[in-house]
Homo-oligomer: A and B are copies of this chain.
Amino acid sequence: MSARLLVRARRRLDSFQLDVDFEAGSETFVLFGASGAGKSSTLNAIAGLLHPDEGEITLDGEMLFRRELGGARVNLATRQRGVGYVFQNYALFPHLNAADNIGFAVRRQPRAAQQVEKMLERMHLSHLGKHYPHELSGGQQQRVAIARALAHRPRLLLLDEPFAALDQPLKERLQVELLQLRRELDLVVLYVTHNLDDAFAMGDRIAVLQEGRVLQRGRPEDVLAEPADSDVAQIMGIRNIFHARVTARSPEGVQFDWDGITLQAGDEASVDTGEWATLYIVPEEVKIIYPDVPLSDTVSHNVVDAEVNGYQRAATHHSLRAKVSNGAIVETRFAPSAYSELDLKAGAPLRLALRPAGIRVLRQRRGKRR
Interface residues of A (CB under 8 A from B): 13-15, 33-36, 39-41, 88-89, 127, 131, 135, 137-140, 143, 160-161, 164-170, 172, 175-176, 194-197, 199-201, 220-221, 224, 234-237, 310, 312-316, 336
Contacts and interface: CB of A to CB of B under 8 A. Distances in A.
Given A35-B137, A89-B89, A161-B138, A195 B221 contact: no
Contacts of A169: 34, 234-235, 237
Copies of this chain in the oligomer: 2
A103 B224 CA distance: 41
Nearest to A203: B313
Going nearest first, the 9 A-B pairs with the smallest beta carbon separation are A35-B139, A167-B194, A197-B314, A196-B315, A88-B138, A34-B167, A200-B313, A36-B137, A200-B315
Given A176-B310, A200-B315, A221-B336, A168 B194 contact: yes
Given A167-B235, A197-B314, A201-B313, 5 more contacts: A14-B135, A40-B138, A88-B138, A89-B138, A197-B316
B40 A167 contact: no
A200 B35 contact: no
A13 B197 CA distance: 35
Contacts of A236: 315
B167 A164 contact: no
Contacts of A196: 168, 314-315
Contacts of A194: 139, 166-168
Contact of A14 (B15, B40, B131, B237): B131
B138 A315 contact: no
Nearest to A176: B310
Nearest to A318: B200
A13 B14 CA distance: 44
A230 to B, nearest CB: 13
Nearest to A310: B176
A176 B312 contact: yes
A368 B116 CA distance: 34
Contact of A36 (B33, B140, B197, B316): B140
Nearest to A196: B315
A199 B315 contact: yes
Contacts of A40: 137-138
A216 to B, nearest CB: 15
A356 B36 CA distance: 47
Nearest to A128: B36
A140 B224 CA distance: 26
A161 B168 contact: no
A317 B165 CA distance: 23
Contacts of A137: 35-36, 39-41
A127 B15 contact: yes
B35 A140 contact: yes
Nearest to A36: B137
A112 B137 CA distance: 35
B138 A312 contact: no
A170 B34 contact: yes
